[in-house]
């Protein structure tokens, strides 16, 4: 006898149904309808943004460390041009990327994240990170599931 009654549904049935929901973008459409119903003609006074760690049992990928090129110190000589530093992800986003490009630019590997808690101590975990924007009524406005932790 199984410890959890299944009432005629199996894991395979659930998996197929979940795949159909995902292919039809059902969660996104339900969320959009909820936002339109709740906030049509409303002004959102406060938008709370926070992130939470989601631990995983996967092993993080080993990072490939690019060899550093030794830069010369001091001012460049007359006529000498030095290579500019590469832009960070935030600088690239501020430089005119659209949302689709920003989301595809995010890494997708499991990683180790570190964050300071409210008491100032560092806590680390292996897994992923979920970013949420929540309006006054407690309804999530946007969610980004970042597969790579960026502390």
Same domain flag for 55 and 37:
no
How confident is the model over 50-78, as pLDDT tens digits? 888 888 888 887 878 888 777 778 888 89
Range of the domain at 27: 11-42
Q: How far is 130 from 112, CA to CA, in rounded Å?
A: 14
- Model pLDDT for residues 110-149, shown as the tens digit of each residue: 888 888 888 999 988 888 888 888 988 788 888 887 654 4
36 and 79 both lie in a single domain: no
Task: Please give the model's pTM, rounded to 2 decimal places.
Answer: 0.59
Q: Which structure tokens are listed for 21?
A: 């929901």
Q: Are residues 28 and 81 in the same domain?
A: no
- 88 within a domain of the structure (yes/no): yes
Query: Do 63 and 33 share a structural domain?
Result: no
């Amino acid at each position: 006898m199984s410890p959890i009654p299944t009432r005629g549904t199996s894991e395979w049935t659930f998996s197929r149904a979940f795949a159909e929901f995902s292919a039809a973008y059902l969660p996104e459409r339900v969320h959009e309808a909820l936002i339109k119903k709740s906030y049509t003609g409303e002004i959102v006074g406060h938008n709370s943004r926070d992130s939470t760690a989601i631990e995983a049992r996967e092993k993080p990928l080993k990072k490939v460390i690019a060899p550093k090129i030794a830069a010369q110190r001091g001012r460049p000589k007359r006529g000498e041009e030095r290579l500019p530093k590469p832009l960070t992800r935030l600088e690239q986003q501020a430089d005119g990327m659209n949302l689709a490009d920003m989301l595809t630019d995010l890494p997708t590997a499991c990683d180790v994240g570190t964050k300071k808690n409210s008491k100032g101590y560092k806590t680390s975990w292996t897994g992923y990170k979920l970013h949420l924007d929540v309006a006054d009524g407690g309804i999530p406005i946007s969610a980004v599931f970042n597969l790579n932790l960026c502390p």
